[in-house]
């Protein structure tokens, strides 16, 4: 069963226009990474909050991706657009 991952990011006020091309360049890598099923991006222009909503085969797959982007510097690049590190949460689907 897959896991839903959310990353809530507070984007620096003047950085979204610069962040957008960075996302366009890097999201294909995320989407092509082993275990990634889907990535969607939402942005609230009033609060400058970005939500990355992702679906992964497992939390371990997502953690492997985080290690990969930490090692290659992409995580540091993403962090440069943000006020603080993103809040990452993992959710398992519950049948109700």
Each residue's pLDDT tens digit, 34-88: 999 999 999 999 999 999 999 999 999 999 999 999 999 999 999 999 999 999 9
Range of the structural domain that residue 37 is part of: 3-86
The conformation of residue 73, written as its DSSP 8-state character, comes to S
Establish if 60 belongs to a structural domain: yes
Q: Are 3 and 54 in contact (CB under 8 A)?
A: no
- The CATH number that applies at residue 68 is 3.30.70.100
Each residue's pLDDT tens digit, 2-12: 999 999 999 99
Predicted TM-score (pTM) of the model is 0.91
The total of structural domains in the chain comes to 1
Q: Are 50 and 64 in contact (CB under 8 A)?
A: no
Establish if 95 belongs to a structural domain: no
Assigned token pair, 59: 């939390």
Assigned token pair, 44: 């609230």
């Amino acid at each position: 069963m897959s896991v839903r991952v959310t990353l809530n990011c507070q984007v620096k006020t003047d950085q979204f226009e610069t962040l957008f091309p960075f996302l366009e360049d890097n999201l294909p890598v995320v989407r092509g990474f082993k275990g990634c099923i889907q990535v969607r991006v939402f942005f609230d222009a009033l609060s400058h909050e970005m939500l990355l909503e992702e679906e992964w085969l497992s939390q371990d797959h997502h953690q492997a991706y985080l290690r990969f982007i930490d090692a290659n510097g992409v995580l540091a690049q993403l962090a440069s657009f943000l006020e603080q590190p993103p809040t990452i949460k993992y959710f398992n689907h519950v049948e109700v």
